[in-house]
Chain A
Amino acid sequence: MNLFFFLFSAIIVLSAIAVISSRNPVHSVLFLILAFVNAAGIFVLAGAEFLAMILLIVYVGAVAVLFLFVVMMLNINLEEIKFQVKKYFFSGLFVGLILLAELFFSFSNLDLIRNKNVMVTNSKNLTNTHQIGSIIYTEYFFVFQLSGCILLVAMIGAIVLTLRKRPGVLRQTVSKQIDRKKEDSIEIIKFKNNNAN
């Protein structure tokens, strides 16, 4: 579908420009999400429906939500950002140039990459979910597991950094509540009331 390809790619380019040019950081994140969603649309047009859905679930549904969370919570000062633009201009330019060079490199070697993946050709008319699964869990099994381990370590690190017991915070501990017995919490005191009657 030619029409949709141009529609999606036009929206991607425009929203990518909007990401870096809009003054409100929350708007930037929302434009980034728009770009992600349209990239998923292009994946679908290219016949890579599994990648499209994973892009939506992982990046838009989880990563970008947390991103938006952080940007909304921080009260970002626009003047401060303007000051920092000068400070980070050259390092930003450097990173951008490296990314551009990598893109050029991979596009100029597109034939090479395609030839290497001939073994994934569709012989039994499988869906591309099956193809990706069969190649990840056979050919690249250890690399795949390793990337999983890296994510796990990062997650544990984040938990260790944030988990701390602060005094004065009331917390419900279910096991404590269940363990509680009548003898622990209630004491029956008998006393004589002299004034009675």
Chain B
Amino acid sequence: MKVNSMDNLFQQLNEVLIISFYVLLIVGPLLIAVAFLTYLERKVIAAVQYRKGPNVVGMFGLLQPFADGVKLFSKETIIPASANKIIFVLAPMISFALSLVAWSVIPISENLVLANINVGILYIFAISSLSIYGVIMAGWASNSKYAFLGALRSTAQMVSYEVSIGFVIVCVLLCVGSLNLQDIVLAQKNYWFFIPLFPMFIVFIISALAETNRAPFDLPEDESALVAGYFTEYSSMLFAMFFLGEYSAMILMSSLGVILFLGGWLPPFDYYVFNLVPGFIWFFLKVGILLFIFLWVRATLPRFRYDQLMRLGWKVFLPLSLFWVFITATVLVFFDILPNFYG
């Protein structure tokens, strides 16, 4: 009996090791993607502003993100004397870890997914609502006015825009009838959801900008008013974790948009030639398009004022998305095309 239970324990540990290996397979490429996203951002903004951007380190400046990374690694970690040390160190770790764990359920292609769970979309939604804690803990633990104000702003903003993202997701779920991310993609076999749900696609993109604290909603890091917002007091590796977390959250939101509205790994037309291209390439192409929108918006639009941001969230997006949920449900019931998963 005892031997049996020990065997069982070893089996479980073995499973844990195998899963850890898969996790590394996801996290490694993701971090490289984050590094090149920062490079891409600087290049895109430079192109918009008619500059060259990074072009010194490596060919076309391609090694610039790694040079920046090494710089951040080798700097001194400064913890303010009046800060709450444990929470101060914990906050960026939470921020970074949460932006990575959501990737476990993202289906990159038909078979390429770590955990194909029934409630995938709710899982991502839950993780993105948890990511508020990294921000608010950082703001509080820094014991600094700028950081605290930045954290309060950021939290209010994320809570507000989560509501409209929730309704957008409900719209898509009404058309799918399942919370599984693979089912959501497969339901778009005939047409991608951004065609019938176009207004929701726009609301989703704008809310995603607000949710990831990106321009024009980057109020938490409003330089002219709040120094750097909630990470004012952070330096070196702890700062880098916030930075990596923000960029990987951007990639995550883009892939969520691709899964919900742009048909995930499905090719644009169901022709033979398009089907030859492996699914993950289509997926990354679409993610790339959405990421470009993120960068394009940052380079072109001025920052929102705080009350304008709140009004947009609560008085425009919330009623609009609620109304659209109602319309979607009505149309589905009226034409009797409500998806039925009862078999």
A interface residues with partner B (beta carbon < 8 Å):
1-3, 26-27, 30, 33, 37, 49-50, 52-54, 56-57, 60-62, 65, 68-69, 72, 124-130, 171-172, 174
Contacts and interface: CB of A to CB of B under 8 A. Distances in A.
Given A1-B12, A53-B125, A72-B148, 10 more contacts: A3-B12, A49-B117, A50-B119, A57-B125, A57-B129, A60-B126, A65-B132, A72-B136, A129-B119, A130-B342
A76 B304 CA distance: 34
A68 B141 CA distance: 13
Contact of A57 (B117, B122, B343): B122
A60 B342 contact: no
Contacts of A130: 341-342
A61 B130 contact: yes
Nearest to A27: B87
A32 B88 CA distance: 18
A128 B155 CA distance: 32
Contacts of A2: 8, 12
B133 A53 contact: no
B66 to A, nearest CB: 34
Interface string B90-123: 0000000000000000000000000001110011
B35 interface: no
B137 A61 contact: no
A126 B342 contact: yes
Interface string B7-38: 01100110000000000000000000000000
A172 B308 contact: yes
Given A1-B12, A56-B126, A56-B129, A26 B140 contact: yes
A54 B129 CA distance: 11
13 contacts: A1-B12, A49-B119, A50-B119, A53-B122, A53-B126, A56-B130, A57-B125, A62-B129, A65-B133, A65-B136, A65-B155, A72-B148, A171-B307
B211 interface: no
Given A49-B118, A62-B159, A130-B341, A68 B12 contact: no
Q: Which of B117, B133, B148, B342 has the most CB of A within 10 A?
A: B133
Contacts of B148: 72
Given A26-B140, A129-B118, A69 B155 contact: yes
B169 to A, nearest CB: 11
Interface in B315-343: 341-343
Nearest to B87: A30
Given A57-B126, A61-B162, A30 B137 contact: yes
Interface of B: 8-9, 12-13, 87, 117-119, 122-123, 125-127, 129-130, 132-133, 136-137, 140, 148, 152, 155, 159, 162, 178-179, 307-308, 311, 341-343
Nearest to B90: A30
B342 A124 contact: yes
A126 B340 CA distance: 12
Nearest to B131: A61
Contacts of A3: 9, 12-13
Nearest to B180: A127
A52 to B, nearest CB: 8
B14 to A, nearest CB: 12
Contacts of B307: 171-172
Nearest to B13: A3
B39 to A, nearest CB: 33
Nearest to B163: A62
Contact of A61 (B117, B129, B308): B129
Contacts of B179: 50, 127, 129
A130 B13 CA distance: 33
B174 to A, nearest CB: 12
B253 to A, nearest CB: 16
B132 A72 contact: no
B12 A72 contact: no
Q: Which of A27, A62, A72 has the most CB of B within 10 A?
A: A72
A61 B132 contact: yes
B130 A53 contact: no
A130 B137 CA distance: 36
A99 to B, nearest CB: 27
A181 to B, nearest CB: 23
Contacts of B9: 3
Contacts of A30: 87, 137
A65 B159 contact: yes
A65 B125 CA distance: 15
Query: Which are the 9 A-B pairs with shortest beta-carbon distances?
Result: A61-B129, A56-B126, A53-B122, A127-B118, A49-B119, A57-B126, A3-B12, A53-B119, A53-B126
A159 B127 CA distance: 28
A61 B308 CA distance: 24
A2 B16 CA distance: 13
A150 B140 CA distance: 33
B343 A72 contact: no
Nearest to A65: B132
